[in-house]
Structure 1
């Protein structure tokens, strides 16, 4: 089983990642090819998932993505990551689940290693705008909108519209 995952992962990075974007007039099934490869790599992949051109997801083994959801052009994500159903994601979104340790001033930061990985969870019916950044351990509530360029450092309640750096609630959807 791991052999198939590893082969699909290699094929994704060698071929699938570089195929044209799905809206391109010359994509010729690129969306389907990336879907088939990622379905074998991710822990869970729903129906009609769109992994766009240039997406980087590391090894991808600890990623779940629900039906009708997608990772936008040139997104960079890492697991553990749970994405619900009907999630839209703009280009160049970054989702981090770990960070650099910086606690000990007697040791250069480069030698301190990384913090433990923290799950990022994105619930159903969320829209994440272009170049948004989501940091480790954040939960994005159902029906939320993350504005383009937002830096999300804390949980977002359901149906909130957030934006800015750090992201703040702008309003709630009705």
Structure 2
């Protein structure tokens, strides 16, 4: 058996053994996911209400983000669990370990910073951060800032990714060039 077949069998066994939920499981239950999305490992979707979650096209969700469509903290106070739709519009970026609460819409092209807790909807093109998340910038200003940074920063091509069997020499080169400033991968 080939290496890919063993990886497939191992993944299926792990899913069964650990009762893992895969993206397909959520979609079968009604969650909508657009085309060209990048959903990283460890993202938690609200399994009990996943049909209330809608993800647009070209959305990136970084590792260990939480997307919640219910909030049981209301149960003790009023005897009911709060629920709400969660909509991540097209071209949205959700940072690592961000939490998106029920009833939130993240507008087209918006960025949610890592670790943020989003309790209110985010306007298109906004950048939000914090707990609770508040607007800190917009994507137009952020893009201009990045373009200026790129003029004076180290840039590395695709061969510098770990998935490309990155050599020890290339790793050391990156470490050296990134000692005093951040850089970019093409």
Q: Into which bin does the TM-score normalised by the smaller protein fall?
A: 0.5 to 0.7
Q: Scaled by the length of structure 2, what TM-score is found?
A: 0.59
Shift of 1:127: 0.8
For the pair 1:76 / 2:48, whether they are aligned, the reply is no
Unaligned runs of at least 5 residues, structure 2: 1-11, 141-186
Distance in 2 of aligned mates of 1:111 and 1:121: 26
Pick one of 95, 101, 112 that aligns with 2:67.
95
Bigger mean CA deviation after superposition, 93-102 or 147-156: 93-102
Q: Which structure has the highest helix share of the two?
A: 2
Give the superposed CA RMSD: 2.8
For the pair 1:120 / 2:86, whether they are aligned, the reply is yes
For the pair 1:42 / 2:14, whether they are aligned, the reply is no
Shift of 1:114: 2.1
- Higher CA-based Rg: 2
Change (3 A) 1:160 1:17: farther
Distance in 1 of aligned mates of 2:14 and 2:57: 23
Distance in 1 of aligned mates of 2:91 and 2:14: 27
Shift of 1:16: 9.9
Unaligned runs of at least 5 residues, structure 1: 1-9, 19-33, 44-60, 104-108
Number of aligned residue pairs: give it: 124
Q: Scaled by the length of structure 1, what TM-score is found?
A: 0.62
